[in-house]
């Protein structure tokens, strides 16, 4: 049990003060700053993964691994965290969201999950979305914005949003919606992962389509090959999870996301985290959130 006085500090700070750390001979020296805060997306893209691999502290990974589970509910300023998580397809947004929720009381909202659930439950917006999908059309911005607004209206505390917005029109609609409620965004995080690393993840990716659960044969394999851990139903490898399709999807992503990064960079709430693996990026994300939660 940590001394009461240490509870007001971050989890990592508290662990660093524990005497048993000295007995493990962990050298907690100075570290390079591995998160890049910038109003320009080029600042984050120009960083190399190799530099971040050095900057991402192994010490912090050890600390996180040895820390007892502890869900942190309250932000330091008492204002709920309202955060977007951006990143290319396969950058690990879902993985990072899951890891964040193990320590911080933040509701994770995936736009894809919200869309699938509303279609399955045949809500008014879900029915309209299903009609678009059946015609082979993209689901309109109006429908997606309505789905996200309905979802956010059910959450009183902190949340992070994955997969939305995808373009400037959606970003402006989200801002207008949140500002009208007096609850503007206060954080946007961007995951920057080398494209060759993402491609290797995509090739080994298998999906449980009904739930959206994603597996990777190397770092997150199913317990039984080809079978979803929860339902026992078969997994699918998306036909477009191949190098040619991935390059096209990545070009589309950059065309849509570069303006988003510029848009959020102007409001000084954008922070980019760079790394070649989730284990390198997560300690950076943890430190970022650690500064905001008691």
3-state secondary structure (DSSP) of residue 30: coil
Q: Would the annotation count 278 as a binding residue?
A: yes
Q: Would the annotation count 294 as a binding residue?
A: no
Q: Would the annotation count 179 as a binding residue?
A: no
The CA dihedral of 73, 74, 75, 77, to the nearest 10 degrees, is 170
Q: Would the annotation count 138 as a binding residue?
A: yes
Tokens representing residue 278 in the block: 């989730």
Q: Would the annotation count 139 as a binding residue?
A: yes
Asked if 262 contacts 218 with a C-beta cutoff of 8 angstroms, the reply is no
Q: Does the N-terminal peptide bond of residue 173 adopt cis geometry, omega within 30 degrees of 0?
A: no
Q: Would the annotation count 182 as a binding residue?
A: no
- The residues annotated as belonging to the active site are 93, 166, 205, 238, 249
Q: Would the annotation count 116 as a binding residue?
A: yes
The residues facing 281 across adjacent strands are none
Residue 184: CB partners within 8 Å, gap ≥ 6?
82, 175, 178
Q: Would the annotation count 213 as a binding residue?
A: no
Q: Would the annotation count 95 as a binding residue?
A: yes
Type and span of the H or E element at 150: helix 141-152
Q: Would the annotation count 94 as a binding residue?
A: yes
| Alpha carbon distance 151, 223 (integer Å) | 32
Residues making up the binding site for GTP:
90-95, 205, 214-215, 278
Q: Which parts are annotated binding residues for AMP?
A: 111, 116, 137-139, 163-166, 170, 238, 249
Residues making up the binding site: 90-95, 111, 116, 137-139, 163-166, 170, 205, 214-215, 238, 249, 278
């Amino acid at each position: 049990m940590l001394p009461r006085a240490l509870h007001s500090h971050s989890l990592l700070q508290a662990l660093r003060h524990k005497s048993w750390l000295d007995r493990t001979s962990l050298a907690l020296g100075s570290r390079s700053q591995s998160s890049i805060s910038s109003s320009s997306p080029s600042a984050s893209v120009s960083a190399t993964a190799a530099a971040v691999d050095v900057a991402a502290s192994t010490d912090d990974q050890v600390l996180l691994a040895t820390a007892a589970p502890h869900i942190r509910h309250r932000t330091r300023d008492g204002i709920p965290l309202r955060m977007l998580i951006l990143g290319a397809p396969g950058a690990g947004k879902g993985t990072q969201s899951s890891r964040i929720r193990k320590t911080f009381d933040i509701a994770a909202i995936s736009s894809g999950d919200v869309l699938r659930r509303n279609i399955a439950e045949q809500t008014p917006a879900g029915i309209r979305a299903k009609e678009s999908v059946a015609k082979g059309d993209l689901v309109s911005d109006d429908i997606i914005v309505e789905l996200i607004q309905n979802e956010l209206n059910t959450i009183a505390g902190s949340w992070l949003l994955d997969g939305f917005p995808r373009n400037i029109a959606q970003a402006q609609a989200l801002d207008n919606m949140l500002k009208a409620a007096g609850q503007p965004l206060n954080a946007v995080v961007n995951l920057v992962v080398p494209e060759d690393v993402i491609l290797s993840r995509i090739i080994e990716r298998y999906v449980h389509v009904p739930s959206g659960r994603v597996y990777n044969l190397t770092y997150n394999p199913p317990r039984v090959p080809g079978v979803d851990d929860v339902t026992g139903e078969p997994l699918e490898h998306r036909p477009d999870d191949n190098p040619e399709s991935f390059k096209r999807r990545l070009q589309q992503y950059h065309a849509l996301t570069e303006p988003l990064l510029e848009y959020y960079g102007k409001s000084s709430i954008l922070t980019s985290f760079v790394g070649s693996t989730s284990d390198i990026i997560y300690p950076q994300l943890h430190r970022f959130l650690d500064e905001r939660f008691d």
